[in-house]
Structure 1
């Protein structure tokens, strides 16, 4: 049946399933970037600074990255549909709390913590259900094209939609918008979603592993955020984060040797294509969210543009992602996934080069458009094949783990993009710091390109993958 019907589901039923899943990815990605155009409004209203808003954005992305792996594992215990609904409910409560926030602390509690935890619970089921329901490479590419495309559009269109709402009403209304979309998704999900595999609450959950993995990621990225304050403290935090992650790895190995079930199976790291695909995912989101924060902050703080003007400029990136994501199925039929990822990185790097060269010599904000368009086209072209490559590398029984790991790596890239590029930018908030931040993103983009080039030329088909 290969994508036409799975476990008795018709094409129409699968399309109905895809709508709430794609909308969920859209709203979570939207939340990661829409605050970028509210920096001035929010910092004034909440009596804080640009660094304060950057911290809230980074914590939101970091909470997602830190909890995505445990969230993926919980899908086996609680069920994919149930965890999806719980995550949406937490997200909605966090959005409403953010809309009513009187200060930065409450904003961080609502947006960074509750929305972050909700996202970590709801996103793994999106990718697990898609992998299980769409069983061949082409239909899965089509489904992931819709979901990844909506994610990319959410991240790129976040500044525009957020800018429109902020200018027309208030930044607080943008969070009300998120809550309304979440309510719609819950209604659609209750009607359309069914769990293809029953939950097994008797499965053990590796609590120690969950704590170690989350703590390691949080401490590591916190160290990066301290770069412009105290270099010694930054080094200490990064070293502590690395040690915690090493402890996590040793813990996982020890549990497997005892015949127990760890948070993550080491099998996930023995697949070369998947490992390299995870690197490409991390760098893609790092570039997309890093560019969004840097350009948005620069336009508002240095150039003096308001939220709507900043958001309109980002339509170029949104258009690029939308065009290339829509073409995902056609690309999958005609080109190898490896080729699409390589080309995507090359186009994205050309876009960053344009952003640096054209903007430095032009006073008009529209000089940002060509570079943002190329970045949108490049990232949109490689989001789907990277996700498809990683998810298709493992059988159904490992989908909970690989989905959590995959989304954790992607969201870690988002938080690193905001933390690294944002830290460089806010240290000076002048033209030279903007250029340095973008050059840093380009250098990290080269790492992604190198990983893409090292991908196996002949990748294992989805049905036969990672039985290795």
Structure 2
């Protein structure tokens, strides 16, 4: 494929990934404004954000499977259409109901349909590891930029126009992507197309929903000891000080996922099409690659959350100032993503994943060493830049490892799993960091240093997983 043809393929995919990542973070800076305008509470808007995350995470695997049935281009454009309608409805919301329908449900469903084809199309369209890395770098850069720039762009649009304009802007960008994607090439899919595993889809969605919901509720109840009463229909089930109820949700979710695995195995043994093949988990490279992806997004979202809250609560920055302060991390992500092809031609993907974790750990160490409650603005720059650069390096390389390790007929399966573990990592990152901060006994930089230190330990675990990646598979 020529450079021009590659650009025509990758541009709409990268823009779509940017919009999906932007949607996950831009709402946070306008919560109070939206709540006041539509006559609800801050908790109500936070619930819509939670439901968006839950919808997207729960439906990512079924949405990915539909690419093998309906086609990647059909799912991509269909997802964009659903997302765009949701954005328009959310922009017109006069109450919480329409906001939930537009943002939480339709944008969540649209994201689950449009994101898996992005990674499948790049994998099946480019055979060369360097070229594939370059284009994954563009998409990973767009994902990181959307997540990092969401608060800044959302803050600017909300401050100078309105929060409704932010949703309309998303709808306009989505419409432009649909126009760009009209002539998108969709390489041949496995024939005949598989049958949709409805029971598997229900079990997958229910299990992931419960696990992610439980993780998100740690901000309210804590991980181990309930910070407040857990009530059902006005009856206290677990009093404050008892065991955290989040493990009820997580435990039931894990049990449902165990039923899913048993169902998938039985379906495969019977010669019927499963929602995804459990044989993927027998491959060491795939398992470790998915682990690194999960931990990368945990560190990315968790560290951005910690730094953003620190800048606003301790340093007194507003949403726009916080977004500007995060620019060094954004620049680091973009520069490392842009260098993905050159790095892939010089180093194995395994080495790049390890290098990304090492660079990120170094950046977090610099933040802990240099930043204080009253330190200058420049003390943030080196740590944020290295953290962003490391994340950009390993996001691209890990995606390349996981997607390239599976044959064409399993791209739908692995793409859904890949995006699901990444979403789970994002949810866990915010929840883990938030639970440390909420549990702090006093304000100031100490709790933030502790939260960042915990995320640094997680990054070290990710580095260990990267070291264990089999060398030959990482060079495929």
Same fold (TM over 0.5): yes
Q: Pairwise mapping of residues 53-202 of structure 1 onto structure 2 (< 5 A)?
A: 53-190=45-182, 192-197=183-188
CA contact (8 A) 1:37 1:300 kept: no
* 1:456 and 2:456 aligned: no
Which region of structure 1 is more displaced relative to structure 2, 119-128 or 27-36? 27-36
Distance 1:198 1:115, change over 3 A: same
Partner Cα distance (1:427, 1:397) in 2 = 47
CA contact (8 A) 1:78 1:199 kept: no
Using the TM superposition, give the Cα deviation of residue 54 of structure 1 relative to its aligned residue in structure 2, in angstroms.
Answer: 4.6
CA contact (8 A) 1:341 1:382 kept: yes
Matched with 1:441 is: 455
Matched with 1:38 is: 30
* 1:264 and 2:255 aligned: no
Using the TM superposition, give the Cα deviation of residue 72 of structure 1 relative to its aligned residue in structure 2, in angstroms.
Answer: 1.0
SS at match of 1:69: helix
Partner Cα distance (2:328, 2:42) in 1 = 25
CA contact (8 A) 2:211 2:254 kept: yes
CA contact (8 A) 2:314 2:373 kept: no
Using the TM superposition, give the Cα deviation of residue 435 of structure 1 relative to its aligned residue in structure 2, in angstroms.
Answer: 3.0
Partner Cα distance (1:62, 1:352) in 2 = 29
Matched with 2:198 is: 207
Distance 1:20 1:438, change over 3 A: same
Using the TM superposition, give the Cα deviation of residue 460 of structure 1 relative to its aligned residue in structure 2, in angstroms.
Answer: 5.8
Higher relative contact order (CA closer than 8 Å, sequence separation 6+): 1
Using the TM superposition, give the Cα deviation of residue 45 of structure 1 relative to its aligned residue in structure 2, in angstroms.
Answer: 4.3
CA contact (8 A) 1:162 1:311 kept: no
Matched with 1:285 is: 297
Partner Cα distance (1:51, 1:349) in 2 = 34
Matched with 2:240 is: none
Structure 1: state its 5+ residue gaps: 463-468
* 1:336 and 2:348 aligned: yes
Partner Cα distance (1:354, 1:224) in 2 = 29
CA distances 1:38-63 after superposition (whole Å, capped 9, x unpaired): 34544554566666555443432332
CA contact (8 A) 2:360 2:386 kept: yes
Which region of structure 1 is more displaced relative to structure 2, 299-308 or 174-183? 299-308
CA contact (8 A) 2:83 2:108 kept: yes
Distance 1:56 1:416, change over 3 A: farther
Using the TM superposition, give the Cα deviation of residue 341 of structure 1 relative to its aligned residue in structure 2, in angstroms.
Answer: 0.9
SS at match of 2:273: coil
CA contact (8 A) 1:86 1:121 kept: yes
From 415, 419, 426, the counterpart of 1:414 = 426
CA contact (8 A) 1:163 1:308 kept: yes
SS at match of 1:222: helix
Partner Cα distance (2:77, 2:192) in 1 = 17
Partner Cα distance (1:44, 1:443) in 2 = 39
| Superposition RMSD in Å | 2.3
CA contact (8 A) 1:162 1:174 kept: yes
CA distances 1:267-286 after superposition (whole Å, capped 9, x unpaired): 21122111111111111111
Matched with 2:367 is: 355
SS at match of 1:197: coil
Partner Cα distance (1:294, 1:56) in 2 = 21
Distance 1:11 1:347, change over 3 A: closer
CA contact (8 A) 1:221 1:419 kept: no
Partner Cα distance (1:211, 1:458) in 2 = 37
Partner Cα distance (2:303, 2:475) in 1 = 34
CA contact (8 A) 1:159 1:314 kept: no
Using the TM superposition, give the Cα deviation of residue 386 of structure 1 relative to its aligned residue in structure 2, in angstroms.
Answer: 0.4
Using the TM superposition, give the Cα deviation of residue 456 of structure 1 relative to its aligned residue in structure 2, in angstroms.
Answer: 1.3
Which region of structure 1 is more displaced relative to structure 2, 286-295 or 40-49? 40-49
SS at match of 1:321: helix
Matched with 1:375 is: 387
Using the TM superposition, give the Cα deviation of residue 30 of structure 1 relative to its aligned residue in structure 2, in angstroms.
Answer: 1.4
